[in-house]
Structure 1
Amino acid sequence: MRNKALLAGLAIVAVAVLYRLFSFTPELVGFSGPTMGTTYTVKFITHKNAPDEAMIKDSVDQVLVKVNKLMSTYDPSSELSLFNRSAAGQSYEASDDIAYVVNAALKISELTDGAYDVTVGPLVNLWGFGPGKHEDRVPTQEEIESAKSKVGYHYLSLDGNQLKKTKDVYVDLSSIAKGYGVDQVALTLEQYGINNYLVEVGGEIRTKGMKLDDAHWEIGVESPAGGHSIAQKVIQADNLSIATSGDYRNYFEKNGVRYSHTIDPKTGKPITHRLVSVTIISDSVMLADGLATAINVLGPVKGLEFAERNDIAAYMLVKEDFGFKEEYSKAFKPYLN
C-alpha cells in the first residue's frame, strides 16, 4: 500500500511538472523602485525556467544598492567618498567596479581633451548641484577659480586597481554611474536566462530581444518643450544601449538667467550654448551615459564634429528662436524611423 501511495504521489508531481512545462505562457512583467536619487524600471518576458519575479527584483535591488554604495558622492561612506577624502600621493586599492568605471571616465576625459572631466565635482558642488543643502546662488569669479584649481583629470591615474591622485582632486562619477548600473542589471537578468528585456535607470536604457508577439521595444526621446509624456523622436530599440543628457530638467534661475547643472570644466561655469539634449547609442549604457554628457558640454557644433570624428551615434536637439532643430551624426541615421 505504501509503495502504491508513493507511486501515486510521484505521478501527481510528475503530472504537475509536465503541466507547467507544456502549459507555460510567456508574459511581459515588470517592476520598479527608487535608486541613485532617481527611479528604475525593469520589464522582461518570462520563461519557464526563470525564478519568480520577487526573486529577480531582489537581485536587481542588490545590484543597484551595491553600485550606489560604491559610487555615490552623496554617501560619505561610499568607496568613492573614501577615495575623495584620501590624501594626494597615496595609492588607493580600488574595487573592480570602481576601477572599471573610472578607467572609462578617464578615457572619455582624454578623448574630449577635458571637455568631459571626471574630476569636475568641485565645480558641480560650488554651483549647488552636488551633495548637501544649497541655495540658488551664482558664485563669485574668485570662488570659481578656486574650485577650478582642484579640477584636472590628468592629476588622476589608474594602474590596474591602483587609483592615485597627485593633487587633491574630487572624483565625481554621477555622469556615468547610472549607465553602469543599467549594464549591471542587464547582466543580472541574462544570468537568469532572461534575453528579452528593457532596463531603465533615470532615463538611461538598455534593451535586448523583443516584446511579446515579436513586437519591438520603442524608446521615445523626450521633447524639452513637452515634458515626460511627449516624445520628440521614437527609436526602435532592439538590443540597444541608450543614454540622454539634457539641461532642461536640472537648473536654477537667478535674476532672469538660467543656470544649467551641466558645468564646462574649462570655464568653470554652466554651459550657455543652445544644445539642450543629446541622445547617444553605444556599446554599453555606461559609455553612452558619459559620451552624452561630453557632447552636451561641447555644444552643437563641436559636439557633432566630435561624434562624426569618433563614429558615435548621436542625436541632438538644438534650441532655436521658435522650437527645436534636430541634428544627428551619420552613425545615428540607421536608428531613425
Structure 2
Amino acid sequence: MGSSYTVQYVRKAGGPTPGQVQQEVEAILQGIDQRFSTYRSDSLVGQFNQLPANRCQAMPADVLQLVRVGEQLSRQSDGAFDLTVEPLLDLWGFGPQAREEKVPDARRLAQVRERVGYTHLRIEGQQLCKDAGVEVDFNSIAAGHAVDLIVARMQALGVESFLVEATGELKAMGRKPDGSAWRIALELPRDDLQIAQQVLPLEGYGVSTSGDYRNYFEENGQRYSHTFDARLGTPVAHALAAVTVLAPTALMADGYSTLLLILGPEQGWRFALEHRIAAVFVNRVEGGFVSRATPAFNSIAGK
C-alpha cells in the first residue's frame, strides 16, 4: 500500500503478544496486497486489469464484496464514484502506469474515457467479468477493508480493546486501561504542517479522511488532485479540501469519505444529510479553512 500501519491494544493475561499480533496483521496486509494491489502485475486485480474485454476471472469473496460496495457507491453518486478510474489515474500521472503528471489532450482523454465505467463490470457466480477494456482500482476502499479484517482478527484473538490504523483509516473498539476512550486527532488539511483540527473520543466506529492536499500537481496555476469525478474524466475542482467520515465499518467510512470529496462542498453536503452520514467537511476559504459537521457527526462526537 506504500504506507504504514499501527495497532495499539490492551493486553490481558494470556492474550496474544505483540509479536503474535504483528504476524497476524502482516499476514492480512500481505493478502490484501496479493489481491488488490494495482502496483503488482501478479496480484489478482493486476491480472484482471490485463484481461481484454469480454473476459472473466475467478475472484475471492472479498474482492466480489468490494465490487458490490463500489457499485452501490457508484449508483448512489450517479457515477461520480467509480472503481474503474485506473486508466484516468495513469493518464493524468497518478496511477501505477503513469509516465508524468500533466493535463492530457482532449483526444487522448476521450479515448481513455471509453475504458471507464462501473457498468462495464458484472459478477457471474464467483467470477468478475468485463465487457470493455476497463481496469479496476480499489484504493478508495481497500484500506478500510483491511482495517475491518484486522479488527475481526483482533476480536478472534480475544482482544477487546484496541485501536487499529492502516494508511490513515482506522477503527477503535473498547477502552484504554484507565477506562477512557481512544482519542484520535482530525488533521487540518495542510500540506506543509501537521495540525490537529479536532480531537475525537472514539469507540466502535471506523474513521476515514479523504483530501486533495497531499497528492496533486499544478500546471499553469491550476491545481489538479488525484481524486477523480468519473462522470467528467477529470480531477475534482472545488473548494472542499478534506472530508472525514465516521461509520460502523472502516470500509464504508473509507468509501463515503471518497464519494463526498468527489461530490464537493455543496452536492456532497446534501448527500451526507440525505443519507445521514456522520461527516466533517473542511472547505478552503480566503486565508484558511472553514469546517462544518453534519448532525449525525455531532451526535457521535457528543456535541
Give the TM-score taking structure 2 as reference length. Answer: 0.96
- Cα deviation, 1:5-30, whole Å, max 9, x if unaligned, reads xxxxxxxxxxxxxxxxxxxxxxxxxx
Change (3 A) 1:226 1:155: closer
8 Å CA contact retained: 1:99, 1:160: no
Q: Which amino acid aligns with 1:267?
A: L
Deviations 1:253-279 (A, max 9, x none): 223222111111122111110001011
1:90 CA displacement:
2.5
The question of 1:129 aligning with 2:94 is answered yes
Alignment size in residue pairs:
302
1:80 to 32, 45, 53: 45
Question: What is the SS of the residue equivalent to 2:135?
Answer: coil
Q: Are 2:80 and 1:115 equivalent residues in the alignment?
A: yes
Matched, 1:252 2:211: no
Q: Does 1:148 align with 2:113?
A: yes
1:230 aligns with 2:230: no
- Residue 168 of structure 2 is matched in structure 1 by 203
Out of 16, 21, 28, the position equivalent to 1:56 is 21
Aligned to 2:234: 269
Tell whether the 8 Å contact from 2:191 to 2:213 is kept in structure 1 after alignment.
no
Counterpart amino acid of residue 277 in structure 1 = A
- The answer on 1:71 being equivalent to 2:36 is yes
Contact 1:205 1:243 survives alignment (8 Å) = yes
Aligned pair partner of 2:126 in 137, 149, 161: 161
- Identical amino acids, percent of aligned pairs: 36
Q: Deviation of residue 135 (structure 1)?
A: 2.0
More helix by share: 1
Match of 1:298 in 2: 263
- CA offsets, 1:296-327, max 9 Å, x none? 01000000111111111111101111211112
**Structure 2 CA distance for aligned equivalents of residues 184 and 227 of structure 1:** 33
Q: Which has the larger radius of gyration?
A: 1
What are the Cα deviations for residues 186-230 of structure 1, in whole angstroms up to 9, with x where unaligned?
111111100100011111111100112012111111101375631
| Counterpart code for 2:285 | E
Structure 2 residue 210 is the aligned partner of structure 1 residue 242 = no
Backbone CA RMSD of aligned residues: 1.4
The more displaced of 154-163 and 282-291 is: 154-163
**1:190 to 1:100, Cα distance in 2 relative to 1, 3 A:** same
- Alignment of 1:98 with 2:63, yes or no, is yes
In structure 2, the CA distance between the partners of 1:249 and 1:195, relative to structure 1 (3 Å rule), is same
CA displacement, residues 17-60 of structure 1 (integer Å, 9 cap, x when unaligned)? xxxxxxxxxxxxxxxxxxx1111111000011212211110111
C-alpha displacement of 1:159: 3.8
Instruction: Tell whether 2:278 aligns with 1:313.
Output: yes
- Tell me how far 1:102 sits from its aligned partner: 1.3
Structure-1 separation of matches of 2:125 and 2:160: 32
**Which amino acid is the alignment partner of residue 258 of structure 1?**
R
What amino acid is the match of 2:267? K
Alignment of 1:41-52 (within 5 A): 41-52=6-17
Task: Using structure 1 for the length normalisation, give the TM-score.
Answer: 0.86
Answer yes or no: is the 8 Å Cα contact 1:245–1:277 preserved in 2: yes
> 2:252 matched to which residue of 1?
287
In the alignment, structure 1 segments of 5+ residues that lack a partner are 1-35
Code of the residue aligned with 2:40 in structure 1: it is D
Structure 2 gap segments, 5+ residues each: none
Change (3 A) 1:130 1:107: same
Give the Å deviation of 1:133: 5.2
